[in-house]
């Protein structure tokens, strides 16, 4: 074994021949310090079977130089594998359930002690605690030790100048610092993420407000467009009304123009009738109106009568039949004319009652217009 109890205190084998006691079985051991094997303690008889060599060696290594093994402090119902000040080192070489781990930690914590679990890595077990260091005991009693977040280190606890307990405490502190640093980094990351989230929320809020403003502006623009459309409709309705009014005014103007034209035409007709009557003495209103309206045949007859030339009158009448000639005579002069059974044209002056019969229409017309009274305006107007 590497460590023995000398006067109750763990001690290394420093020279051959030292006497001590086995911390496991209490039997006497003697030191052996040669040049081949590491300095160690050896039982005078057979090795004790109190516990495994690995478990015993780990206890002795963690108790060196002034720790106590297998002790129960006053007021604590538990026995510590190694007690170093207010720290309990539990050397775990066999499986242990989580409930037992919590029970031991609670009992030691009640007495003001902190528990550090030293787990033999070769045993392949786990312990549900945050204060766990894993160790591997090498054949020359060197230790390889590590914990969560700390890389493995191999050292000689008897010659390094740092004990196994101090090394375990240092690794746990480093692990705690790493954990704290990681927690700090995570906190900073969480804070940064929270700030980013806040910035995103702020940006989203700004975007929402901007979207609301744009929606309000779009609503106002739509209202303005609707108002403009309504104004355009109103303008179009007003324009349509104005157009209808203009059309009505135009129609009225056209009617007025037509009425004026009619009046002008009537005035012209009246003037023409008066002129014709004055020139020809014709008093038949229907005949005068036809002449004034442009009846060429009647006008030709009147013009011929005006010349008092029989040949011209005969030419103007043309090839009219006897009945047509009688009608012409009646229309041209204020006479009655008709064709008798004798084939002659019988004429009667209305104003004098004189009667004559003619075989020649030209003679009849010339006889009819002879002695016509002067034109009378009242008769023309009628």
Measure Cα distances from 118 to 90, 165, 304, 326, 351 in Å.
Answer: 6, 10, 161, 162, 168
Q: What is the pLDDT of residue 278?
A: 58
Within this chain, do residues 152 and 11 fall inside the same structural domain, yes or no? yes
- Note whether 159 and 178 are within 8 A (CB): no
**Which of 105, 128, 158 is a domain's end point?**
158
Answer yes or no: are the C-beta atoms of 322 and 345 closer than 8 Å.
yes
Instruction: With respect to residue 72, please indicate whether it lies within any of the assigned structural domains.
Output: yes
Among residues 110, 126, 158, the one where a domain terminates is 158
Reference 372, options 294, 298, 279, 275; nearest CA is: 279
Residue 47 banded pLDDT, cuts 50, 70, 90: low
Domain count within the chain: 2
Averaged confidence pLDDT in the chain: 80
What pLDDT, on a 0 to 100 scale, did the predictor assign at position 116? 95
Residue 381, pLDDT score: 39
- Reported confidence tier of residue 367, pLDDT bands at 50, 70, 90: confident
151 and 286 housed in the same domain: no
Percent of the chain having pLDDT more than 90? 27
In tens, the pLDDT along 292-327 reads: 555 667 677 777 777 788 888 888 877 777 787 777
**Cα angle 153, 159, 165; round to 5:** 60
Same domain for 11 and 147, yes or no, is: yes
In a domain, 123, yes or no: yes
Note whether residue 174 is domain-resident: no
* Residue 223, domain member (yes or no): no
The answer to whether residues 153 and 8 belong to one domain is yes
Of 158, 189, 211, which residue is a domain's last? 158
Give Cβ neighbours of residue 367 (< 8 Å, ≥ 6 apart): 347, 356, 358
Query: Which stretches within 34-161 are classed as H helix?
Result: 53-63, 98-110
Token duo for residue 120: 């033999």
Q: Is residue 370 part of a domain?
A: yes
Q: Is residue 195 part of a domain?
A: no
Find the domain containing 66 and state its range: 3-158
Residue 171 lies in a domain: no
The percentage of residues in the chain with a pLDDT greater than 70, rounded to a whole number, is 81
Quick: pLDDT tens for 167-226: 998 999 998 888 888 888 888 889 999 999 999 999 999 999 999 999 999 999 999 999
Distances, alpha carbon 326 to alpha carbons 43, 286, 290, in Å? 187, 16, 17
pLDDT of residue 313: 82
Residue 114's contacts (CB-CB under 8 Å, 6 or more residues apart) are: 86, 87, 88, 108, 131
pLDDT level of residue 264 (50, 70, 90 thresholds)? low
Question: 226-247 pLDDT, tens per residue?
Answer: 999 999 998 889 888 988 888 8
**Is a pLDDT exceeding 80 seen at residue 360?**
yes
Q: pLDDT-derived band of residue 375, with 50, 70 and 90 as boundaries?
A: very low
Higher pLDDT pick, 18 / 288:
18
Tokens for 359, please give them: 């075989």
In this predicted structure, what is the pLDDT of residue 380?
A: 37
pLDDT for 373 equals 56
Residue 218 resides in a domain: no
So what's the pLDDT on residue 285? 52
- Rounded-to-integer distance, Cα 115 and Cα 83, Å: 10
Count of C-beta atoms within a 10 Å radius of residue 246 = 12
Please tell me the predicted confidence (pLDDT) of residue 209. Answer: 92
């Amino acid at each position: 074994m590497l460590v023995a109890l000398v006067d109750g205190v763990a001690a290394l084998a420093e020279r051959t021949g030292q006497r001590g006691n086995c911390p496991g079985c209490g039997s006497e051991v003697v030191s052996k310090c040669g040049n081949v094997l590491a300095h160690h303690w050896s039982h005078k008889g057979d090795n004790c079977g109190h516990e495994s060599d690995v478990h015993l060696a780990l206890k002795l290594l963690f108790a060196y130089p002034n720790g106590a093994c297998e002790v129960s402090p006053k007021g604590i119902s538990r026995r510590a594998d190694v007690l170093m000040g207010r720290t309990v080192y539990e050397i775990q070489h066999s499986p242990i359930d989580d409930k037992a781990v919590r029970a031991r930690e609670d009992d030691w914590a009640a007495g003001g002690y902190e528990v550090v679990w030293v787990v033999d890595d070769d045993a392949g077990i786990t312990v549900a605690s945050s204060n766990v260091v894993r160790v591997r005991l090498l054949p020359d009693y060197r230790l390889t030790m590590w914990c969560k977040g700390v890389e493995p280190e191999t050292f000689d606890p008897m010659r390094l100048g740092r004990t196994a307990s101090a090394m375990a405490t240092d690794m746990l502190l480093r692990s705690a610092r790493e954990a704290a640093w990681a927690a700090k980094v995570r906190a900073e990351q969480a804070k940064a993420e929270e700030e980013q989230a806040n910035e995103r929320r702020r940006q989203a809020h700004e975007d929402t407000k901007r979207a609301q403003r744009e929606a309000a502006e779009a609503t106002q623009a739509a209202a303005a467009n609707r108002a403009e459309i309504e104004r355009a409709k109103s303008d179009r309705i007003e324009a349509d009304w104005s157009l209808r009014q203009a059309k009505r005014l135009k129609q009225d103007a056209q009617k007025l123009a037509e009425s004026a034209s009619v009046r002008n035409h009537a005035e012209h007709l009246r003037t023409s009738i008066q002129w014709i009557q004055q020139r020809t003495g014709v008093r038949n209103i229907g005949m005068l109106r036809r002449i004034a309206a442009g009846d060429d045949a009647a006008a030709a007859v009147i013009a011929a009568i005006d010349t008092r030339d029989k040949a011209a009158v005969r030419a103007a009448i043309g090839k009219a039949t006897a009945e047509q000639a009688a009608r012409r005579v009646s229309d041209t002069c204020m006479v009655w004319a008709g064709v008798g059974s004798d084939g002659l044209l019988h004429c009667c002056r209305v104003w004098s009652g004189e009667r004559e019969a003619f075989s020649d229409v030209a003679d009849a017309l010339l006889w009819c217009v002879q002695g016509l009274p002067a034109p009378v305006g009242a008769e023309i107007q009628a």
